């Protein structure tokens, strides 16, 4: 048997170590490539334009530099700091309203108005290629802003001095990055112990600002929180008039051609404020004036304030024109302020009713502009509103929440549940209806800013059945005094209507049925209880002259009674 010998070959080396080295090299390269962007310096503003930065947001909007004067776009200021900022294109005037100031800022000239008085700005607003720009100096003063320009990065930085800011101390050297990631490019270096302002937090990183105007993201672990900083600014706080220790008791005084003589008014026990219907808006911004200085002097001798009423004649078209014309508004402001000084008024009560829904924001703007002008004179501003309903022109036209922020008080007209045009008989102001309305109001208006308007009148409803079987409804408005005369003449007995929370009387004569839900001592007691239950600022009665003699004493006793 022949044996075939096996040929021996050279043993090959093991391939595993080489593969490991290759994989490690690839991983190192991948990690290097992954983190490579983080090794590079990258400007936050690679463009040549002066871009705007505020609260961690870099805008595409750009500033304007002319003759070493810095300007900011009107649209940017409106979007970031003041949504109520206005541009009157026809007259080329910027209108700025703050809590205590109304500025008229003309285009191209430094002479404008501050609270309707001549005022000189540092340098004027300008217009470039159809875009309006505002000077930085004025923005700093008006809006309490810190505005800084960093030439190296071509960034304009804003800081709201009113808002407190969290500060931090750098505990380890680091890089400020353009995004919250270690692999994002860095924009600046930051050293240990440097103090920064922390603007926001994102994905475990802080967006910070340094005193040297460097901005960017920094890992939270490199920052130690050290406290809250508040801007260096001073601001006087206006506080509306309020009778110390008791609710406000106001009554409207209806004025036809002349104001009632003080000697016929009698003693209005408990009343602190009288609101005569003196001023009326007419076409072209004319304010019709029926004021009587002797009335104010008499009221002041009694220790009462006078808040003169200003109405819009309930004309929606005229009101629309007025609200949207800055020139007409300014004309009206000047007249009202003249009357405030002339008659030594303590307040203005705005009674604008029957307005278009589209004028809702414009009405708030009107009140917002008027407020600082009156407050500068320490004059109270109140606004009449209705309860919520589906009516566009009588209810939805009011932004009650916004109005309560700029006016001193809102007065809700808690009556006319069933008005003269109602298709059915009913109460002027049933208690359940009033309470539901108050609950809805208080979702938007602070209780301490709300007065409940109460009626001193009743409506007599007459339901007549015609020979044809058709029913006809007519109505008469009657004062409290006249109601009780009518009831006494017919020797009627009133009953309690549980559903309305009021006294009720009914009379049937032939084919007519007479119905009345009475406003009297009983119903007013219930309303005072509601005022106290919801801690309202007070009551306002429509109107003086409709009441019975004992009503003022009753209300005064109820208001000051400890429940």
Residue 420 sits in a domain whose CATH number is: 3.20.20.80
pLDDT band at 150 (very low <50, low <70, confident <90, very high): confident
Q: What is the CATH number of the domain that holds 211?
A: 2.30.30.40
pLDDT of residue 408: 98
* Pair 405, 449: CB distance under 8 Å: no
Chosen domain end from 102, 117, 150: 150
* Mean pLDDT of the region 194-200: 93
pLDDT band at 30 (very low <50, low <70, confident <90, very high): low
194 and 335 share a domain?
Answer: no
pLDDT of residue 235: 66
169 and 97 share a domain?
Answer: no
pLDDT of residue 46: 78
Q: What is the β-pairing status of strands 347-351 and 64-66?
A: unpaired
265 and 364 share a domain?
Answer: yes
312 and 399 share a domain?
Answer: yes
**For residue 140, is it within any domain?**
yes
Give the H or E element holding residue 334: helix 326-343
86 and 170 share a domain?
Answer: no
346 and 222 share a domain?
Answer: no
Considering its fold, how many domains does the chain have in total? 3
* Pair 372, 97: CB distance under 8 Å: yes
pLDDT band at 40 (very low <50, low <70, confident <90, very high): very low
**Residue 405, CA distances (Å) to 273, 365, 376, 444, 507 in order:** 22, 12, 17, 10, 48
* φ, ψ at 421 (rounded to 5°): -100, 10
pLDDT band at 5 (very low <50, low <70, confident <90, very high): low
11 pLDDT higher than 70: no
pLDDT of residue 16: 67
**Residue 394 DSSP one-character state:** I
136 and 192 share a domain?
Answer: no
For 120, the domain range is 51-150
Torsion of CA 45, 48, 54, 58, to 10 degrees: -50
93 and 174 share a domain?
Answer: no
Of the chain, the percentage scoring pLDDT greater than 70 comes to: 93
556 pLDDT higher than 60: yes
**For residue 176, is it within any domain?**
yes
Q: What is the β-pairing status of strands 457-465 and 471-479?
A: antiparallel
- What is d(CA 430, CA 517) in angstroms, rounded to the nearest whole number? 8
222 and 261 share a domain?
Answer: no
Chosen domain end from 122, 150, 178: 150
363 and 448 share a domain?
Answer: yes
Peptide bond before residue 161 is cis, with ω within 30 degrees of 0: no
pLDDT of residue 548: 93
Which class for 120: exposed (0-12), middle (13-18), buried (19 or more C-beta within 10 A)? Answer: exposed
Residue from 169, 174, 179 nearest 217 by CA: 179
Secondary-structure percent of the chain, ordered helix, strand, coil, rounded to 5: 30, 35, 40
- What is d(CA 414, CA 431) in angstroms, rounded to the nearest whole number? 10
Beta-bridge partner residues of 146: 159
Weakest-pLDDT range from 213-217, 354-358, 384-388: 213-217
**For residue 509, is it within any domain?**
no
**For residue 302, is it within any domain?**
yes
pLDDT of residue 236: 73
Of the chain, the percentage scoring pLDDT greater than 90 comes to: 79
225 and 291 share a domain?
Answer: no
41 pLDDT higher than 60: no
* Planar angle of CA 165, 166, 169, nearest 5 degrees: 130
* Mean pLDDT of the region 258-285: 93
36 pLDDT higher than 80: no
221 and 283 share a domain?
Answer: no
- What is d(CA 319, CA 307) in angstroms, rounded to the nearest whole number? 21
Report the mean per-residue pLDDT for the chain.
Answer: 92
* Mean pLDDT of the region 67-95: 95
**For residue 46, is it within any domain?**
no
pTM of the model as a whole: 0.89
pLDDT of residue 186: 86
* Planar angle of CA 172, 174, 180, nearest 5 degrees: 120
What does the chain come to in residues?
563
Q: What is the CATH number of the domain that holds 116?
A: 3.30.457.10
One DSSP character per residue, 500-538 reads: TTEEEEEEEETTEEEEEEE-SHHHHHHHHHHHHHTT-SE
């Amino acid at each position: 048997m022949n044996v075939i010998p096996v040929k021996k070959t050279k043993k090959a080396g093991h391939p595993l170590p080489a593969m490991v080295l290759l994989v490690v090299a690839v991983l190192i390269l991948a990690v290097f490539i992954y983190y490579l962007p983080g090794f590079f310096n990258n400007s936050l503003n690679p463009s040549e334009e002066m871009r705007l930065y505020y609260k961690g947001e870099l805008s595409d909007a750009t500033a304007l530099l002319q003759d070493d004067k810095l300007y900011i776009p009107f649209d940017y200021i409106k979007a970031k700091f003041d949504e109520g900022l206005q541009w009157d294109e026809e007259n080329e005037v910027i209108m700025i309203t703050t809590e205590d100031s109304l500025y008229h800022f003309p285009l191209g000239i430094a002479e404008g108005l501050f609270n309707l008085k001549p005022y000189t700005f540092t340098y004027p607003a300008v217009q470039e290629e159809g875009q309006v720009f505002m000077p930085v100096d004025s923005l700093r003063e008006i809006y309490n802003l810190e505005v800084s320009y960093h030439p190296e990065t071509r960034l304009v930085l804003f800081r709201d001095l009113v808002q407190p800011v969290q500060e931090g101390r750098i505990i380890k050297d680091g890089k400020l990055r353009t995004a919250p990631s270690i692999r994002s490019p860095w924009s600046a270096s930051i050293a240990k112990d440097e103090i920064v302002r922390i603007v926001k937090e994102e994905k475990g990183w802080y967006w910070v600002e340094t005193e040297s105007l460097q901005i960017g993201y920094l890992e939270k672990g490199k920052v130690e929180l050290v406290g809250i900083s508040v801007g260096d600014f001073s601001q006087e706080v206006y506080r509306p008039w309020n009778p110390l220790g008791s609710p406000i008791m106001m009554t409207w005084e209806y004025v036809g051609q002349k104001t009632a003589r003080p000697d016929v008014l009698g003693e209005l026990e408990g009343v602190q404020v009288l609101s005569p219907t003196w001023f009326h808006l007419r076409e072209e911004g004319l304010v019709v004036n029926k004021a009587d200085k002797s009335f104010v002097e008499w009221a002041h001798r009694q220790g009462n304030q006078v808040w003169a009423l200003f109405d819009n004649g309930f004309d929606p078209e005229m009101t629309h024109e007025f609200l949207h014309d800055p020139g007409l508004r300014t004309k009206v402001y000047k007249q009202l302020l003249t009357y405030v000084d002339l008659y030594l008024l303590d307040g203005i009560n705005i009674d604008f009713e029957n307005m278009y829904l589209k004028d809702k924001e414009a009405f708030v703007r009107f009140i917002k502009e008027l407020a600082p002008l009156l407050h500068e004179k320490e004059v109270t501003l109140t606004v009449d509103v209705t309860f919520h309903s589906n009516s566009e022109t009588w209810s939805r036209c009011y932004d009650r929440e916004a109005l309560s922020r700029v006016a001193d008080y809102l007065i809700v007209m808690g009556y006319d549940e069933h008005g003269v045009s109602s298709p059915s008989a009913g109460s002027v102001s049933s208690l359940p209806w009033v309470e539901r309305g108050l609950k809805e109001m208080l979702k938007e208006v602070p209780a301490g800013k709300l007065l409940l308007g109460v009626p001193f009148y009743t409506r007599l409803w007459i339901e007549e059945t015609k020979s044809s079987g058709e029913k006809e409804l007519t109505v008469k408005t009657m004062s409290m005094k006249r109601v009780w005369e009518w009831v006494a003449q017919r020797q009627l007995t009133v009953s309690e209507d549980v559903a309305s929370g009021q006294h009720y009387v009914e009379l049937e004569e032939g084919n007519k049925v007479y119905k009345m839900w009475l406003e009297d001592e009983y119903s007013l007691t219930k309303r005072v209880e509601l005022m106290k239950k919801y801690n309202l600022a007070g009551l306002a009665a429509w109107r003086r002259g409709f009441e019975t003699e004992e009503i003022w004493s009753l209300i005064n006793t109820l208001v000051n009674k400890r429940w």
